[in-house]
Amino acid sequence: MNISSIIKYFISIISKHKNYFKIALSLIILTIILFKIDKREAVLMILNLNLPTLFLLLGISLLKFLTQAVNWYFCLTIPISSSMEKDKVGNENNKSMKHPCTFFTIIKTHMIGLALRFLLPGGHGTFGKILYLDPNQKKESFFSIVIEKFFLVWVILFFASWAFVIVKPLFPKIIFPISFFIAMLVTLCPFIIPALLKKHLSYIQKKKYYYALPKIIASQIIYEVLTFTQYFILLQYFTQMDLNFIDISALIAIILLANIIPITFSGIGLREAASALLLPQVGVAVEIAVGVSLLIFLFNAVIPAIPGMVFIVTHKKTFTPSVQYPEKQDFTKS
C-alpha cells in the first residue's frame, strides 16, 4: 500500500465523518487554550457580569435577530419572479408582487434556521429551514437561502478585508496593497453577481435582486456593527480600559473570519484562538479575550437557537394527497 493510497484512505474517512472531526478539533483547540490561561479567573470574570450589562447584551442580540429576520424577508422576495406575470405593456402583475410568506412564517423559519445552523456543524443546517415553508415555496426559496448564505459570508469578508487595511501596524507592509485590492473586490462583488449569472437569472429576478440589494446590504452591515458593539461593551466592562471602538471593531472583524472557516464546530476554538492572539495587541488579557469570545457565542448562537429547537420539536407536518378519490356511493338507494 503506497503513500498516496494511505492519504486517499484517510481523506475518505475524514469526508465521511467530517462533522465529528470538526467537533473534536474544536474541543482540542479549546482544551489547549484553556490549559494556557487562568481558568478560575476566566470563570469568575464571566460570573461577575452584572444584570444591566447582561440585559443590554440580550437586547442587542434581539436586535440582531430582527435584523437577520428582515434580511430573510428580503431574500425571499427575489425568486418569486418565476410566478410573476406580465401584461401586454410589460408591467408585473401587482397580485404576483405580494410577498410569498406571512410574518409568522418568516420569524418561525428564521428561528428554525438558527437552531439547525447551531445543531449541524458547518452551518449548512440552515438550508433545512426551507423544509418548513409552504410546499409551493420550497423550490423557489432555495435560491433565497443561497442569497442569504452568500451575504452572511460576504459581510464577514467585507469588514475583515477592510480591517486588514486599517490595522496596518499589526501586519507586514506588503499586506496593505493586497488587502486594499481584495477589499475593493469584495465590496463590488454583490453588484456584479447578476452579470456573472445573466444566463441563469430572468429579467424580473435581476430587477428584484437589485431592488432588495440595498436593504440586504444594510441589514448585514447593521448586524455586524451590532456584533462589534457587543464585543466592545464586554471588553470595556471587563478591562475597564479606554478602548477605541474602531480599533476593536477592526480586530473583531478579523477574528470573525473563524466563522467561515469550515474546520471546527461553529467556529469554536478558532475564534477563541484568534481572540487570544489579536486582542492582547490592544492590552486585553488573554483570559478576558477568550471569556468574551465564549460569551458572545452564548448570546449569538446558543440562546437564539433555543426557540428554533422548540419549533422543530413541536412542528407538525400536514399531508394533502394529490389524488382525490371519488366519494363512496351507496347503490342500495337506487
CA distance 79 to 148: 12
Alpha helices, DSSP H, located in 3-50: 3-16, 18-36, 39-47
Grid coordinates belonging to 223: 448586524
**pLDDT tens digits, one per residue of 21-74:** 667 767 777 777 777 777 777 777 777 888 899 999 999 999 999 999 999 988
Question: Where is pLDDT greater, at 135 or 237?
Answer: 237
- Whether residue 254 contacts residue 303, with contact meaning beta carbons closer than 8 Å, is answered with no
Query: CA-to-CA distance for 266 and 268, rounded, in angstroms?
Result: 5
For residues 227 and 267, the model is more confident at 227
What pLDDT does 90 receive?
45
Average pLDDT (224-234) is: 95
Query: What sign has the CA pseudo-torsion 236, 303, 134, 146?
Result: positive
pLDDT tens digits for range 112-167: 888 887 776 555 667 777 777 776 666 667 788 888 889 999 999 999 999 888 87
pLDDT of 6? 54
Strand partners, 92: 86
Identify which has the larger pLDDT, 138 or 299.
299
Q: What is the pLDDT of residue 99?
A: 60
**Residue 17: DSSP 8-state:** T
How far is the CA of 213 from the CAs of 26, 91, 142, 206, in angstroms?
Answer: 35, 21, 17, 10
* Contact between 140 and 79 (Cβ < 8 Å): yes
Average pLDDT over residues 174-186: 83
Cell numbers standing for residue 331: 347503490
Q: At 85, which helix (H) or strand (E)? A: none
Name the residue with higher pLDDT: 125 or 323.
125
**pTM recorded for the entire structure:** 0.80
Helix (H, G, I), strand (E, B) or coil at 227: helix
> Can you give the C-alpha Rg of the chain in angstroms?
24
Structure confidence at residue 19 (pLDDT): 63
**Helix (H/G/I), strand (E/B), else coil: 194:** helix
CB 78 within 8 A of CB 147: yes
pLDDT of 245 above 90? yes
CA angle 265-161-201, nearest 5°? 80
Report domain extents, the chain.
Answer: 20-84+93-314
Stretch 76-85: mean pLDDT: 58
Strand (E) or helix (H) holding 286: helix 286-297
Q: Which one, of 295, 309, 304, 327, lies nearest residue 43 by Cα?
A: 295
**Which amino acid is present at 56?**
L
- C-alpha to C-alpha distances, 17 to 25, 121, 132, 162, nearest whole angstrom: 12, 11, 27, 36
